[in-house]
Amino acid sequence: MDIIEWIGIIVLCYFGYLFIKECKVIIFGNPNVQQKYGKGCWALVTGATDGIGKGFCQEFSRQGVNVCIVARNKSKAENLIEELKKINGKPQYKIVIADFQNCLQESFFQKIYQEVKDLDIGLLVNNVGVLTVGEFHKTSDVDQQNQIIINCIPVVFMTKYILPLLKKRQRSGVINLSSLAGRFSNPYYQVYSATKAFNDYFTRSLQIEVENVDFLSLRPGFVQTAMVKNQTDLLTVSTQQCVTSALFQLGNKEATAGHIIHRIQTLIFTLVEGKLMDIISPIIAKQLYKQKH
């Protein structure tokens, strides 16, 4: 066999492997949280009052899962609970007020733990995150500092404090919000990208380390939320599309871009990763940056 044939076989094997992985998800995938983690379990969501976090809460409510939200804005949280009760009045709902900007303060996570320790938490969604975008040397120190703190510290310590509760159960899950931006270099989104890569490596490492807990690193592309100025285009999915596709894959994969559009986008980016991606990525990022400023 010559070298071309060998390359052909390797490429075929790679696609065969991806195909088998997909078949596994299609056959065994199930978005129903209670079927996965038990009837009457709770889902705890951080940054729940808007965007993707709110999308998770709405889906949990539709499924009849009890929802505990960790949010900084009390009235926004109360309004969300009213909204969820209209979707489904049967589940229980709980609010924990916490501003993750202050999460370096002593006992911050212990206080949250004290409020939730008696709940049968089957699923933790570490969703809270912020975005600072701009030419690096012009960005504000405070914004960058907050971005690193809010995007990295809660995901580690919420997981650390809630994990003993999750491990007590037969099976449970953790979804951590990474991003497509955490997989490739992103000018103007430099620090954001780095924090999202942090989330991704942290989650995938725990998936190997911890037994009986399904860890999922969720790495979507653009999702229509305030973070991306509610943009709508071919590559932007709704929060519901993002959330249901993630729940479908939870337990069958350690990482996913979620919706099929973002998975195809990720596959294409991965195939051209390296030098070509280093050329394409700044062009896309510059375009996006100009559109939004």
**Catalytic residue positions?**
192, 196
Could you say whether residue 73 binds ligand NAP (CB under 6 A)?
yes
Q: Rounded to the nearest whole angstrom, what is the least distance from the CB of residue 52 to ligand NAP in the complex?
A: 4
Could you say whether residue 115 binds ligand NAP (CB under 6 A)?
no
Tell which one of 76, 94, 169, 171 touches ligand NAP (CB under 6 A). 76
Could you say whether residue 234 binds ligand NAP (CB under 6 A)?
no
Tell which one of 227, 247, 257, 285 touches ligand NAP (CB under 6 A). 227
Q: Rounded to the nearest whole angstrom, what is the least distance from the CB of residue 152 to ligand NAP in the complex?
A: 11
Locate 13 and state its tokens. 């094997």
Please name the residue that has the structure tokens 């989650």.
203
Could you say whether residue 130 binds ligand NAP (CB under 6 A)?
yes
- Residues paired with residue 253 on neighbouring β-strands, in sequence order: 250
Q: Rounded to the nearest whole angstrom, what is the least distance from the CB of residue 259 to ligand NAP in the complex?
A: 11
Which residues of 180-231 form beta strands (DSSP E)? 213-218
Could you say whether residue 101 binds ligand NAP (CB under 6 A)?
yes
Could you say whether residue 225 binds ligand NAP (CB under 6 A)?
yes
Residue pair 59/243 in contact (Cβ under 8 Å)? The answer is: yes
CA 212 to chain centre: 20
CA 114 to chain centre: 24
Which residues of the chain form beta strands (DSSP E)? 42-46, 66-71, 93-97, 121-126, 172-177, 213-218, 255-256
Tell which one of 36, 37, 44, 49 touches ligand NAP (CB under 6 A). 49
Could you say whether residue 255 binds ligand NAP (CB under 6 A)?
no
Could you say whether residue 222 binds ligand NAP (CB under 6 A)?
yes
Phi, psi (rounded to 5 degrees) for 136: -50, -50
* Torsion sign, CA atoms 55, 95, 104, 211: negative
Phi, psi (rounded to 5 degrees) for 255: -155, 145
- Residues paired with residue 172 on neighbouring β-strands, in sequence order: 213
Could you say whether residue 47 binds ligand NAP (CB under 6 A)?
yes
Q: Rounded to the nearest whole angstrom, what is the least distance from the CB of residue 47 to ligand NAP in the complex?
A: 3
Residues that bind ligand NAP (CB under 6 A): 47-53, 71-73, 76, 99-101, 127-130, 150, 177, 179, 220, 222-223, 225-228
